[in-house]
Amino acid sequence: MTAYLALENGTVLKGEYFGAQGEITGEVVFATGMTGYLETLTDQSYFGQIVMQTFPLIGNYGVIPPDFESANVGARAYIVKHPCKNPSNFRCEGTLDAFLKERNIIGLYGIDTRALTRIIRENGVMNGKIMSAPPAPKDIAEIKKYSILNAVASVSSREITKILPDNSQVKKRVALMDFGAKRGIAKALAARGCEVWIFPHDTSAQEILKMKPDGIMLSNGPGDPAEKANDKIIETLRSLQKSSVTIFGICLGHQLMALSNGYATKKLKFGHRGANQPVKEISTGRVYITSQNHGYAVVADNGSFVNVNDGTCEGLDYGKSFSVQFHPEACGGPLDTSFLFDRFIERMGK
Tell me the one-letter amino acid at 52.
M
Active-site residue numbers?
Answer: 251, 327, 329
Structural domain range at position 267: 152-349
pLDDT value at position 279? 98
Average pLDDT, the chain: 96
pTM of the predicted protein model: 0.95
Per residue in 97-112, pLDDT tens? 999 999 999 999 999 9
Is there a single domain that holds both residue 45 and residue 135?
yes
Examine the fold and report which residue of 119, 148, 177 is the final residue of a domain before the chain moves on: 148
Is there a single domain that holds both residue 210 and residue 97?
no
Is there a single domain that holds both residue 136 and residue 182?
no
Is there a single domain that holds both residue 45 and residue 173?
no
Task: Quickly state the pLDDT bin for 160 (edges 50, 70, 90).
Answer: very high
pLDDT value at position 167? 79
Is there a single domain that holds both residue 190 and residue 278?
yes
Rounded Cα distance, 216 and 237, in Å: 10
Asked if 101 contacts 18 with a C-beta cutoff of 8 angstroms, the reply is no
Give the mean pLDDT of 132-149. 94
pLDDT value at position 166? 83
Give the mean pLDDT of 56-69. 97
CATH code of the domain covering residue 323? 3.40.50.880
pLDDT value at position 169? 79
pLDDT at 250 over 80: yes
Total number of domains in the chain:
2
Is there a single domain that holds both residue 207 and residue 275?
yes
Give the mean pLDDT of 220-244. 97
Asked if 179 contacts 152 with a C-beta cutoff of 8 angstroms, the reply is yes
Per residue in 291-329, pLDDT tens? 999 999 999 999 999 999 999 999 999 999 999 999 999
pLDDT value at position 331? 87
pLDDT value at position 332? 84
pLDDT at 25 over 90: yes
Is there a single domain that holds both residue 301 and residue 157?
yes
User: CA torsion angle for 180, 183, 188, 190 (degrees, to 10)?
Assistant: 110
pLDDT at 168 over 80: no
Is there a single domain that holds both residue 229 and residue 115?
no
Question: Residue 34, class by beta-carbon neighbours within 10 Å (0-12 exposed, 13-18 middle, 19+ buried)?
Answer: middle
- Residue 134 DSSP one-character state: P
Angle at 336 between CA 333 and CA 339, to 5 degrees: 120
Rounded Cα distance, 198 and 337, in Å: 23
Examine the fold and report which residue of 148, 183, 204 is the final residue of a domain before the chain moves on: 148
Asked if 250 contacts 174 with a C-beta cutoff of 8 angstroms, the reply is no
Give the mean pLDDT of 124-135. 96
Give the mean pLDDT of 272-294. 96
| Helix residue ranges per DSSP H, the chain | 37-41, 96-102, 113-123, 137-145, 151-155, 183-190, 205-210, 231-241, 252-260, 339-349
Is there a single domain that holds both residue 278 and residue 332?
yes
CATH code of the domain covering residue 97? 3.50.30.20
Examine the fold and report which residue of 148, 167, 186 is the final residue of a domain before the chain moves on: 148
